Structure 1
Amino acid sequence: MNKIKSLHIIISVILIASSLVSCEDLLEEETFTVLSPNDFFNTGDDLDVVLNSVYGELRYSDIKRDGITLQEVNTDIALERGGGIFTFNEPIEEFTWTSSHQWLRSMWERRYRTIFRTNVVLDNAEGIEMNETRKSETIAEARFLRAFNYYLLYDLFGPVPLITQSQTAVTDRPARASEEEIVSFIENELIAAAEALPVAPRNGEYGRATKGAALGILSKFYLMTKKWQEVASATRQVMDLGIYDLFTQGNRTELFSPDNQRDNEFIFVAVMSDNPDDNTGDGWLSHVVPRGYQWQYPPRVIFAAEYKIWSAFLELFEPEDERLNAFLFEFVNEQGETIVLGEDNARSMKFPEYPTQGISRSSDDFPFIRYADILLSRSEALNELNGPNQESVDLLNMVREAAGVSTFALSDFASGEDFRDFILDERGREFHTEALRRQDLVRHGKFIEMARGRGKPAMEYHVRYPIPQTEIERNPNLTQNEGY
């Protein structure tokens, strides 16, 4: 069986058009120039070209679509009204989504496209003569990025096909991995990556995978799978690196400002372009602010779509909580009128305007994990292991102190359940608009319960999204998630 290594998304294959000599000739192409894999993968720089494209895919991950719609619009935090994208948001909010939802398909395709690229790097790295330290770190980086993409897929869909090499046949139709296989694979790949990755990003390039990033995502994966002892161990390793801490140099929301974008609270982020002409930045605010809003750094468009915040969610915050400053409750329009947004109409401005912004996008980096998550994850895990304990309370208080709100004593929590419920609320206050809420609610067993409380027809199987219908039709060996 012939196997073809595809490089169509890594490099441009150089073909000069073939010609037909006469009408009697069959369609016989004469290839003048072909750039083959053997021509391309000769140096470590060649591998970096492919790896950089993987980071590019993370940069193209749309905050509003892949993040807020799929991870928050079906929770107690967000809703969306208006514009053409309401067509995609409404079934997510109403728990009527199907396997034909276009954004589920695009998420699946983007993740596997990225996995393919990491497989290309891993299939070619060993055969290249290069500095051994650089080779080891490049391989670890690719393994981390591949595992991270499988982590994202598992979060949404559960077990998926495990594809670990770039050479595939047109007849290959991989079945889904078992629960044990996918969990073991992600865990082992992240552990291996953490062992080999440097503490500081390779070449000093901010945004590249590091030991902290691998350990951080490993911590979150253990949290997702409720391996509490492993969560405690992995988070401790991140803390012991001694290079991360909480941002405390100003109002809590200033962490996301242009001046603090690279603060050492951020562990792993999607780095957005600072070039306003590069259409890969963050388009969040143009889908958030109300009509009539006056931009600080014009010009900028305001789309018809409007992502909003449920007022009931805002009641979780204490009045003095600095994190409330991330929300827009009123504004002065161009006529000088003060517009009060009102019930279920506040907006999350967590990712603020930047001086370097295009007509609809700005350069806000999007955090996949930051140090506050490490602290609260460890706090939650220790409570699950031991019930309310002093370290869990201390870790919680560290995050609350950074936000300017009151702290607690161990005696304030009567039971592990009380602490568990409070830590879930704290995670909502801390991580809204960072695409973590659905995952947190599912882990706490509250996702379906809370949706039903909002009057949604949520069923137990809705804790996972369906495998995209296009993939089911393309691959007869794929089985659909229960209920779809």
Structure 2
Amino acid sequence: MKISHIKILTVLFLAISIQGCADLLEEEVYSVLGPSNFFRTAEDAESLLNSAYASDQRRSSRDYLLLSELTSDLLIQRGGGLRRSAQLIEDFTWDSTHPFLDVQWGRDYTAIYRSNLIIDIVPDIEMDEARKQQIIAEARFIRASNYFYLFDVFGPVPLITNSDLEIEARPGRASREEMIGFIEDELQAVSQILPVEARNYGRANKGIALSLLTKFYLNNKKWQEAAATAQQVIDLNKYSLFNGSSRSALFDIENEENDEFIYIRPNLPIPGLSTSYLAHAAPPSYQFKFPPRGNFAAQYQLLDGFVNSFHTDDQRKQVIIQEYIDVNGNLIDLGPDNSRSFKFGEDPSGVGTNMGNDFPILRYADILLSRAEALNEIAGPSEEAISLVNEVREVAGVPALMLADFSSKEELRDHILEERGWEFFTEELRRQDLIRHGKFIELAIERGKNAFDYHVLFPIPQNEIDRNPNLEQNPGY
């Protein structure tokens, strides 16, 4: 399999930056040689930017995936050492000591610190002015995107916008209005600076900034803004739906640099730079095409209610396996609530559990469905909203919808939520979608979970509460 040289360079830059800047967040400077006078060249500016991308794009795909999908009507996890932590998420019995929350908080604030360092230092570096402004804009995007995820998981958090915050200064949480305003303003601003074509694969550009802004507007129910910003992405004429031999081929590793993937989390089949998703999805003794392969005891399993909801012609279901051939040549029926998503399948170059499949953070299909949803919330079912949904359905091989099929805003809203499930399962979006549609707690209760309204947010990690007396815990925890 051929791996893009650009992809290799991108991910290796991230790896080098992780090593080189791992302690920036924790170190206290005791000499006159500090960040303000250490970074002086254009090369230093690029290295700083690589370090910020390293924190942003090496976000734990396991932890955030499970926070997003185990709390939904799609996924469960069984077996292995992961079971105890995952069970707490699945059962809505998590608390402020859950390890996934520490990982999320620490990773995002490390990226924010590194971005703030760029924004503070790079303006004083003598270098090409156009490149300088782009580096600063990319750093502002990384900072805003990490606040996007923090806000998604925890609600308002401390809004830190400089790198020289004294250790004694323990900021409290921003207001909801301050958080929303900051993220919106930053993404709007950088979308005017960033080029349409990114400098390197996996780096921020205009379309990425506008797409994340679309999703932020959507999740906060700013329907007019979401619809308009989605249209800006469409009008770039840069992105299109993948329409290969099958819709399921969208995620094949040889097709990953395609025009539907707007923003990705890059991976290589190297420990520390890879994804181990398939080792969690593959059932016991699964016969891989390219052994030897690792196969974890911890297993990701899809619920039957979801798997059985697909149209019989839907190509998106082709990445779901309900039976398989094991290493002994036996045909194994996976049984109830045990189907597996192979959306991110086997990398021929993978080693053990380490695969190089890129993970899509933003896809063009999401932009089309986001505009359709926003238009429906503004004015109810319309020809345009139905047409946008049908664009996604057409490449999946399922029959088109008709405007006459929907007599109310509520009916189309419910269908769009269902369509998003078929399109984006195991892509870290289901929790956001259920919360936005007001179904998150309702469906959890239907599944027998002891869920309450406050569970739409996770608690601030207890370690952070202990460190910072000005941090207030989310209600209910």
Task: Provide the residue aligned with 1:222 in structure 2.
Answer: 217
Corresponding position: 1:357 with 2:358? no
Distance between the aligned counterparts of 1:401 and 1:97, measured in 2? 40
Runs of 4+ in 1 over 6 A off after TM superposition: none
Separation in structure 2 between the aligned mates of residue 89 and residue 262 of structure 1, nearest angstrom = 32
Is it true that 1:257 corresponds to 2:255 in the alignment?
no
- Please give the alpha-carbon distance, in whole angstroms, between the structure 1 residues aligned to 2:97 and 2:21: 31
Provide the rounded CA distance (Å) in 2 between the counterparts of 1:335 and 1:354: 22
Higher mean displacement: 43-52 or 413-422: 43-52
Alpha-carbon distance in structure 2 between the residues aligned to 1:266 and 1:8: 25
Give the aligned partner of residue 23 of structure 1: none
The within-5 A match list for 1:77-156 is 77-156=74-153
Distance 1:334 1:99 in 2: 42
1:73, 1:93 within 8 Å by CA — same for their partners in 2? Answer: yes
Gaps of 5+ in 1: 1-6, 14-30
What's the secondary structure of 1:126's corresponding residue?
helix
Among all aligned residue pairs of Structure 1 and Structure 2, give the percentage whose two residues are the same amino acid.
48
Contact in 1 for aligned 2:56/2:146 (Cα 8 Å): no
State the one-letter code of the partner of 1:123: D
| Helix, strand or coil at the partner of 1:392 | helix
Assess if the C-alpha contact under 8 Å between 1:62 and 1:282 holds in 2. Answer: no
* CA drift at 1:40: 3.3
Pairing 1:458-469 to 2, within 5 Å after superposition: 458-469=451-462
Aligned-partner Cα distance in 2 for 1:226–1:206? 31
In structure 2, what is the equivalent of residue 404 of structure 1?
397
Q: Does residue 242 in structure 1 map to residue 237 in structure 2?
A: yes
* Per-residue CA distance 1:202-250 (angstroms, 9 max, x = gap): 2xx1000010000000000000100000001100100010010000122
**For residues 444 and 247 of structure 1, what CA distance do their matches in structure 2 show?**
27
* Partner Cα separation in structure 2 for residue 57 and residue 8 of structure 1: 7
Contact 1:10 1:117 in 2 (8 A): no
Cα distance in structure 2, aligned partners of 1:58 and 1:112: 10
Q: What is the letter of the counterpart of residue 232 of structure 1?
A: A
2:166 aligned with 1:169:
yes
Tell me, in whole angstroms, the C-alpha distance in 2 between the residues paired with 1:124 and 1:289.
Answer: 46
How far apart are the structure 2 equivalents of 1:34 and 1:277?
38
Listed as ranges, the gaps of 5+ residues in structure 2 are 1-16, 24-29
- What is the alpha-carbon distance in structure 1 between the residues aligned to residue 283 and residue 349 of structure 2? 21
Return the alpha-carbon distance in structure 1 between the equivalents of residues 435 and 397 of structure 2: 28
1:372 touches 1:399 (CA, 8 Å); kept in 2?
A: yes
Report the 3-state secondary structure (helix = DSSP H, G, I; strand = E; otherwise coil) of the residue aligned with 1:269.
strand
CA radius of gyration, larger in: 1
Separation (CA, whole Å) in 1 of partners of 2:364 and 2:77: 29
Aligned partner letter, 1:442: I
> How far 1:298 moved relative to its partner?
2.0
Q: Encode CA deviations 1:422-473: one digit per residue, 9 max, x unaligned.
A: 0000000000010000000000000000000001000000000000111111
Q: Which amino acid aligns with 2:255?
A: N
Distance of 2:47 and 2:64 partners within structure 1 = 25
Distance 2:343 2:261 in 1: 15
Give how far 1:61 is off.
1.8
1:2-401 correspondence to structure 2 within 5 Å: 10-11=20-21, 36-38=34-36, 40-67=38-65, 69-202=66-199, 205-273=200-268, 276-401=269-394
Whole-Å separation in 2 of the counterparts to 1:364 and 1:77: 22
- Report matched runs for 1:447-458 at 5 Å: 447-458=440-451
Indicate whether 1:426 and 2:419 are aligned: yes
Say if 1:358 and 1:125 are closer, same or farther in 2 by CA, change over 3 A. Answer: same
Q: CA deviation at 1:10?
A: 4.8
- What is the Cα deviation at residue 326 of structure 1? 1.1
Residue 34 of structure 1 deviates from its aligned partner by 8.6
Q: What is the total number of aligned residue pairs between the two structures?
A: 456
Residue equivalent to 1:18: none
Q: Distance in 2 between matches of 1:264 and 1:103?
A: 32
CA contact 1:55–1:270 (8 Å) conserved in 2:
no
Q: In 2, Cα distance between the equivalents of 1:75 and 1:308? A: 12
Equivalent AA in structure 1 for residue 322 of structure 2 = F
Contact 2:393 2:399 (C-alpha < 8 Å) held by counterparts:
yes
Task: Say which of 476, 480, 484 aligns to 2:469.
Answer: 476
**Alpha-carbon distance in 2 for matches of 1:297, 1:58:** 31
User: Do the aligned partners of 1:59 and 1:272 also contact (CA within 8 Å) in 2?
Assistant: no
Kept in 1, the 8 Å contact 2:56–2:142? The answer is no
Distance in 1 between the 2:164 and 2:20 partners? 14
Q: What displacement does 1:38 show?
A: 4.8
Distance 1:282 1:63 in 2: 7
Cα drift, residue 35 of structure 1: 5.8
Q: Which amino acid aligns with 2:61?
A: I
3-state secondary structure, aligned to 1:80: strand
Question: What letter is aligned with 1:63?
Answer: S
Specify the alignment match of 1:21 in structure 2. Answer: none
- How far apart are residue 57 of structure 1 and its match? 2.2
Give TM-score, length-normalised by structure 2: 0.93
SS at match of 2:300: strand
CA distance in 2, matches of 1:325, 1:58: 31
Secondary structure of 1:299's counterpart equals coil
Q: Which amino acid aligns with 1:53?
A: S
Aligned pair in 2 of structure 1 residues 365, 328: CA closer, same or farther (>3 Å)?
A: same
